[in-house]
């Protein structure tokens, strides 16, 4: 049956089938029987083959982006993290499939959309869900902890120990390396190189119109910070923190308790506007926490336990002229009392 689409277009329904095949191969395995089934699907309709070819190009772009270099077609499927997809929830896999399908339909013009998609987070070597914190000991003995909604890739080699922070925040305590390889935490804004160190690196929440930045705070030792787009390296000593963009490093300032409080299960606030505090608390709680503009400027101070965000909300109601309106567990509004 002839397609009403032009040769350059892919039917969205066929694109979805191709995306489902990509995800299925990663989550269920790529054995001979499944390959034969895929080949029958591809051969059954020219539109299927066109969608699959487009899907492989999309996946090649995605894989090269994660690896930082182009990779061969034979390795494209392997470069996508099958383990990460298997561990993801059904909802995440469905969303990943829809994102893949959208990129297949969009074609080359849509490849850039992967920069906006959370795929790098889902396919990272280590990651946490909303409200989760995770500790890990790396191959060299270094210890890390991931904050809520965080993701890192591990890029250890014979010459360096590199963590690529994809989202959220990471706390690092470096171990002595007999090979004397440098330890680096990389974000899109630059790199923080440890100098015998315990420190945190956080990708600040992205907001429309704001310049992306990373917050680095040093608790022990020192860190050398290098912006992604060049410039002089800056040394940051223990007890200091700074923000870095791809072009610029702010002057250091005393490190706040909030910089690494999350690693100890505490959210600190000191005269923090309620709207800002609400946004931070919502990172640790599934669903929506909304702050009414009428109370947005109220100052919040104190230490709030992250293990129970309901208690944190009740503490706000006890200390401020606000009330907590809870439609459901996943929809909360902080309003004037």
User: Other C-beta atoms within 10 Å of 314: how many?
Assistant: 12
Give burial (CB, 10 Å; 0-12/13-18/19+) of 135. exposed
- Mean of the per-residue pLDDT values for the chain? 84
Fold of 265-336: Phage tail protein beta-alpha-beta fold (3.55.50)
Report residue 143: phi and psi, to 5°. Answer: -115, 140
C-alpha distances (whole Å) from 257 to each of 21, 63, 269, 303 are 47, 38, 8, 10
Identify the pLDDT of residue 72: 34
Report residue 244 as tokens. Answer: 């870095």
Report residue 307 as tokens. Answer: 């293990």
Give burial (CB, 10 Å; 0-12/13-18/19+) of 216. buried
- For 173-198, how does the pLDDT look when each residue is reduced to its tens digit (9 = 90+)? 999 998 999 999 999 999 999 998 89
What is the residue extent of each domain of the chain?
Answer: 12-122, 126-259, 265-336
The single-letter DSSP state of residue 246 is: S
Percent of the chain with pLDDT over 70: 81
Q: What is the pTM of this model?
A: 0.69
Alpha-carbon gap, residue 128 to 66, rounded angstroms: 18
CATH class of 126-259: mainly beta
Identify the pLDDT of residue 170: 97
Alpha-carbon gap, residue 131 to 119, rounded angstroms: 19
Task: Confirm whether 126-259 and 265-336 share one CATH topology.
Answer: no
What is the pLDDT confidence band of residue 109, given thresholds at 50, 70 and 90? low
């Amino acid at each position: 049956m002839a397609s009403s689409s032009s040769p350059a277009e892919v039917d969205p329904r066929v694109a979805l089938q191709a995306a489902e095949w990509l995800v299925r191969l990663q989550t269920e395995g790529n054995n001979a029987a499944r390959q034969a089934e895929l080949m029958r699907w591809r051969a059954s309709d020219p539109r299927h083959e066109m969608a699959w070819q487009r899907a492989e190009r999309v996946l090649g772009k995605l894989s090269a982006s994660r690896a930082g270099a182009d990779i061969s077609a034979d390795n494209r499927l392997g470069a996508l993290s099958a383990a990460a997809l298997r561990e993801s929830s059904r909802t995440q896999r469905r969303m990943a499939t829809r994102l893949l399908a959208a990129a297949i339909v969009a074609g080359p013009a849509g490849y850039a959309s992967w920069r906006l998609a959370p795929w790098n987070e889902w396919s990272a070597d280590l990651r946490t869900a909303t409200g989760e914190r995770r500790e890990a000991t790396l191959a060299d003995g270094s210890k890390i902890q991931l904050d809520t909604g965080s993701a890192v890739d591990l890029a250890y080699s014979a010459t360096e120990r590199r963590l690529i922070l994809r989202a959220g925040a990471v706390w690092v305590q470096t171990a002595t390396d007999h090979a004397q390889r440098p330890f680096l935490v990389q974000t899109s804004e630059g790199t923080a190189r440890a100098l015998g160190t315990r420190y945190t690196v956080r990708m600040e929440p992205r907001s429309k119109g704001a310049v992306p930045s990373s917050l680095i705070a040093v608790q022990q030792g020192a860190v050398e910070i290098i912006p992604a787009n060049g410039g002089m390296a800056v040394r940051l000593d223990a007890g200091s923190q700074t923000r870095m963009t791809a072009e610029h490093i702010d002057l250091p300032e005393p490190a706040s308790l909030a910089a690494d409080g999350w690693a100890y299960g505490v959210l600190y606030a000191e005269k923090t506007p309620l709207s800002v505090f609400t946004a931070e608390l919502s990172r640790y709680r599934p669903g929506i926490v909304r702050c009414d503009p009428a109370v947005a400027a109220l100052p919040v101070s104190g230490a709030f336990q992250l293990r129970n965000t309901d208690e944190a909300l009740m503490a706000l109601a006890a200390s401020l002229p606000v009330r907590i309106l809870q439609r459901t567990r996943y929809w909360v509004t902080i309003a004037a009392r």
